[in-house]
Amino acid sequence: MSSPYDPPADLGRESSHLPPPQVPGLVGHVRVLSALMMAQGLLDLLAALGLTATGLFMKFGMADAMAQNPQLQQGGALPPGFMQMMTWTYVGMGVVVGLIGMLHVYAGVRSWQYRERNLGIVSLVVGLGTILTCYCAPTSMLLFVYGLAVYLNPSVNHAFQLGDKGISADEITLTFSRILYEKSFKD
């Protein structure tokens, strides 16, 4: 009786264009990282929507409320242009965080396919820009550290080189399978 963890016998690796089983390294973490990057990107897009909505609220809601309600002006009138500045600050932060979020999602999708490793690294570095908004600061810093540890691993670098040559993600996952790697020493 064979173990349920053994790979199927009909893998056909002898006729495949893939190299023999490789040292797994952190290749198993690439898909986890890419899923986290996509989740971070979606959270960034949500934050961008909230920041933009806050900026528009400052423009239309707060200005009208302050003009109509003297109790809101107890501390004196706001400096001229203050609401305009707040509007542009929030909308500007929303646009920047939205672009970072889209970059995270795109880089996560490409990493899932073992493509464009450098784009993933750039995405992690640019993603630190969300720290300035104080939203997602802990997760973007942790994702940066974890992502660099994964992307800078030699096995991961080799896996992305195979992916950039056009080898499918499933074949790359199989090539760097720990089970096949350990089995190659037994044979």
pLDDT of residue 94: 93
Compute the C-alpha angle 116/28/174, nearest 5°.
90
- What confidence score (pLDDT) does residue 98 get? 95
- pLDDT on residue 8: 53
What does the CA dihedral 177, 162, 114, 117 come to, rounded to 10 degrees? 120
Give the residues of the chain that fall short of pLDDT 50: 1, 10, 12-15
The model carries a pTM of 0.78
Determine the pLDDT at residue 85: 87
pLDDT by residue (tens digit) across 55-66? 888 877 776 766
pLDDT of residue 134: 81
